[in-house]
Amino acid sequence: MSRVITSDKLNLIVTREIMLRVDKSFRFDINFLFVTIIVAAKNAGISATSYHPKYEPTWDSLDARPIPAWYDSAKVGVKVSWGVSSVPGFRNEWFWHSWQGPDPDPKSIEFMQQNYPPRFTYQDFARDFTAEFFDPYKLADILESSGAKYVVFTSKHHDGYALYPSTYSFGWNSVDTGPRRDLIGEFSKAIRTRTDIKFGLYHSLYEWFHPLYLRDKERDFKTRQFVTQKVIPEFKELVKLYRPEVIWSDGDWEASDDYWDSKNVLAWLYNTSPVKNTVVVNDRWGNGTTCKHGGVWNCADRYNPGYLMPHKWENAFTIDRYRRNSQFEDYLSTQDIINQLVSTVSEVIANPIFALGQSKFQVSCGGNFLINVGPTKEGTLAPILVERLTQLGEWLKFNGDAIYETTIWPTAQNDSVTEGLWYTFKPRERKIFIIQLYRQLYATLKVKRLFAVRLTVDWFL
């Protein structure tokens, strides 16, 4: 039996569903399928009511914590990158570093000379970070319409500016200077009262120019004043105030996890914090921890490995280049975004024929999909970003059954007689989904080694 799920509005992609047949001819494969279900259930994670063990501050213990089940089911998230850097809108969040860091960028220097008076400081940008048109409920509605199941909102980037009244960023936060608003508080309330989206926070460990950090760095990180006086108390304050269900750590790479005291921080998070049962973290907790320790593996920005990973991972990427002079061609099309989504959460069974911009189409398995967007200094999203998110949501409205709550189908990889096909699988429902990312000109799809036998599936066109 087969069923066609189509999107008449977008006319982009067709998802087809095949019900698994249970009969003697598939006895071997159904036994294998049963094993797959057990493995999928084992790796799916923990629920909020699961038994809660005590985690020790060692990587062996911390890495043994299952990733909460909601995250693997969610599949799609949106990261909202925002802060003072949206005022210059040049070189994205890294502008201050590229302008006044140890290796200044000539274009950033030229940008300042052409647009701002002498002696203008980065702190002076804060007065123009107004957020005057920031409507947290409108943004929550946009994200809900995108089909996202979780959001990661900036708490503090590497410039140290906090988007809430941080006790430890006095005078350099969104309540003391700039919009005079608790932006995290407003947005978290909107998300939780308006939608079913899980609320998470991006949080940078290091700060480029914080005096305590620079002092520790000069001493080869043999002292930890910045960590004990700023990082840890601010981190715990943030968790207690807003109870995020995702903590997307960053800014870790210059020092070891011992300097950041990451193992003790995570042990507190998993054992004692108010989100100990539900929180999901990533892998950026010190130099050498990425793709090795922590929770979900990010490994690198725009990470899409091209092969089946041994651990849950996430592809975090941007729709555009996030700069003030972005042109239309700098933005990924809706089709490009959907291609990225499908290649992230599913398994390729044929050689891909697509290209995204100037890079080859990436093929991978079993990841989550995190789309990064950046509001303006006034707090709005560019219309083209809203359009892209809305169109993604339209596609997911018709085809989300093949994305949400799915896992990989492990019996076939790079082995098909038809190009450009991806599998996802729902163990509980015993359903395989075949996703085709381009329209087919013939009415019969030939699939090889779906169950270690050859099947022919007829399209209903």
Higher pLDDT, 434 or 268: 268
In the chain, % of residues over pLDDT 70: 72
- Which of 321, 354, 349, 357 lies closest to 339 in space, CA to CA? 354
Looking at every residue in the chain, the average pLDDT score rounds to: 80
Helix (H, G, I), strand (E, B) or coil at 427: coil
Domain 72-397: state its class: alpha beta
Q: What is the pLDDT of residue 315?
A: 87
459, 411, 406: which is closest to 429 by C-alpha? 406
Report the pLDDT value the prediction gives residue 309, as an integer from 0 to 100.
73
- Per the document, the length of the chain is 461
Dihedral through CA 319, CA 333, CA 397, CA 37, nearest 10? -70
Residue 75 has pLDDT above 90, yes or no: yes
- Which residues, 6 or more positions from 325, have their beta carbon under 8 angstroms from its beta carbon? none
Give the torsion sign (CA, 279, 236, 378, 210).
negative
Per-domain boundaries in the chain: 72-397
- The pLDDT of residue 286: 97
Is pLDDT above 70 for 149? yes
Asked whether the predicted pLDDT for residue 121 surpasses 80, the reply is yes
pTM of the model: 0.82
